[in-house]
Amino acid sequence: MNKKLPKWWPFAAIGLVAVIILAGALFMFSGKEIMPSAGGSGQAEELEGYEVITIQVKSDGFYPDQIEVKQGVPTKINFRKDTSLTCITDVVSKDLDMLKYLEKGDNYYTVDTTLDPGSYSFNCGMYMYYGNITVI
Ligand SMILES: [Cu+2]
């Protein structure tokens, strides 16, 4: 009990704890990355009763970049982002007054059912890639 520990003991203990925490953090981080795209945002989206149109967000734009939405039909657009290797971090639409940050995975945008028929354009936050929603 009274046996003296070496002077450096507290530092060794702190170092050991730091290593354990770091290893734990790394493990959790990699675990998250490995997990098969669990949606990213986590929260389950209510899709019941909605028409869902998926637009893939890729490194070189939106696929497809032209979609049609029927007026009055509850519709959600899923901006599906399967890669981080794209500069498209958000979708912007002046026409729709929309600004949406894109998480990795599914990103649902609910279309206003009262939109007038017509053409509504959207683009990436950098105004590099464009797409169009036609309400019919
Ligand atoms: Cu860009």
Backbone angles phi, psi at 15, to 5 degrees: -60, -45
Distance 135 CA to ligand 1 centre (A): 26
Distance 28 CA to ligand 1 centre (A): 30
Model pLDDT for residues 23-48, shown as the tens digit of each residue = 766 566 554 444 444 444 445 778 99
Q: How high is the pLDDT of residue 12? A: 72
Distance 65 CA to ligand 1 centre (A): 15
Distance 89 CA to ligand 1 centre (A): 8
Could you give the percent of the chain with pLDDT greater than 90? 65
Distance 123 CA to ligand 1 centre (A): 9
Angstrom distance (rounded) from CA 111 to CA 91: 14
What's the one-letter identity of residue 33? E
Count the neighbouring beta carbons within 10 Å of the beta carbon of residue 20: 10
Distance 125 CA to ligand 1 centre (A): 7
Helix/strand/coil for 16: helix
Q: What is the mean pLDDT of the chain?
A: 85
Distance 85 CA to ligand 1 centre (A): 11
Q: How high is the pLDDT of residue 51? A: 97
The token duo for 68 is 């049609």
Distance 31 CA to ligand 1 centre (A): 29
At residue 100, does pLDDT exceed 70?
Answer: yes
Distance 51 CA to ligand 1 centre (A): 28
Distance 46 CA to ligand 1 centre (A): 30
